[in-house]
Amino acid sequence: MAKKRILNKPFISLDNTFRSGQCFRWGRYDEFGNFVFGEKDTDGFWDGIVYGIPLRLMSDEKYIYFDSPASEVYVPQLRQNLDIKDFIRFYLRMDTPLDQIYTEISKDKYVRNAIKRYYGLTILRQEPYETVISYMISPQNSVEKIAQKLNEISISLGNSFSFGGKEFPVFPTPEDFLKKSESFKDKSLKLRFGERQKENILKVVKSLVEGKFDLNGLFGKPYQRIINELVQFKGIGRKIADCVALFSLDKLEAVPIDVHVKRITEKLYGSLLGDKPRGVKDYEFVSNFWRDYFGRYAGFAQEFLYMASRDGILLTL
């Protein structure tokens, strides 16, 4: 395959990034067309479909190697096409020096050790729409299960893209969801969803198609406004809104508080919380603590400690 490359500086680890639980569609497609989440291919490349295009990525100390049938990518939140190299730099956030972010969040040994352990982890700039739908599926599901469901949805409702002898199922557009809403609601869809969840998702895609919800227009808007607009939708609560803000709308101060982050807050920072009104049950109180403590890149600190918690090594940090 024709592999091109761009400088990997400062160093980004695709392994640590794609396994961090922020994204669900990076893995490998095997010869039977099955998707294996969180594993790269035998040739060292990760398979992904982002912003509607197949993309294969590999990283070493010096370069990011890529392969894609696309030479340009449309980025809806920028409302413009980017050359594939510029797109990869945008997607991997290569415009913001990772080392500077790491330095700013290194407030204690826990984060410093987590950074050492997961060095090169970055927060991607995912497509807002796909991020919304992905996290609307996330409640009470494991990362692996979410990945399975999103793959299943893509096969059932989206287009497929042949590339390099593999089939890449593209995440369905909002129009795909509406067009095939009957099969989306159909119980034959292998990995089922709750009826309420389906209705909530269809409501979101409907207002996107009808132009009533300018999700991409939220890119660059103030944090609080983004949260306020997102939580108006049923099925999008405070935590999912923070995930969308952090993982797709460039709000690195967003700190999604899930079960892991609650545990982290209790175990590591309980003594720092001070006068806690309702302890870790108070979402605003806890996420404000993270922002006060870690600063403008608090979302990065959250992601590093979240990884450590998932891997069960929190207390060894």
Partner DNA sequence: ACCCAGGTCTAGG
Partner DNA sequence: CCTAGACATGGG
Residue 114 sits in the site that holds DNA (CB under 7 A): no
Binding region for DNA (CB under 7 A) out of 14-22, 30-38, 90-98, 164-172: 14-22
Size of the site for DNA (CB under 7 A): 43
Q: How far is the CB of 233 from DNA (least distance, A)?
A: 7
Residue 277 sits in the site that holds DNA (CB under 7 A): yes
Q: Which of 242, 238, 131, 138 is nearest to 194 (CA)?
A: 138
Does residue 260 sit in helix, strand or coil? helix
- Region 194-223 residues binding DNA, contact defined as CB under 7 A: 194-196
Does residue 57 sit in helix, strand or coil? strand
Answer whether 89's CB lies under 8 Å from 281's CB.
no
* Half-sphere exposure of residue 276: CA atoms within 13 angstroms, side-chain side: 20
Q: By CB under 7 A, name the one of 163, 177, 233, 290 that touches DNA.
A: 233
Does residue 41 sit in helix, strand or coil? coil
Q: How far is the CB of 9 from DNA (least distance, A)?
A: 25
Q: By CB under 7 A, name the one of 141, 159, 181, 207 that touches DNA.
A: 141
Binding region for DNA (CB under 7 A) out of 54-62, 68-76, 159-167, 226-234: 226-234
Q: What is the DSSP letter of 119?
A: T
Separation of alpha carbons 296 and 245, rounded Å? 13
Residue 15 sits in the site that holds DNA (CB under 7 A): no
CA angle 82, 46, 8 (to 5 degrees): 60
**Tokens matching residue 30:** 């095997």
In the complex, which residues of this chain contact DNA (CB under 7 A)? 20-22, 135, 138-146, 191-196, 231, 233-241, 243, 256, 258-261, 277-278, 281-282, 302-303, 306, 310
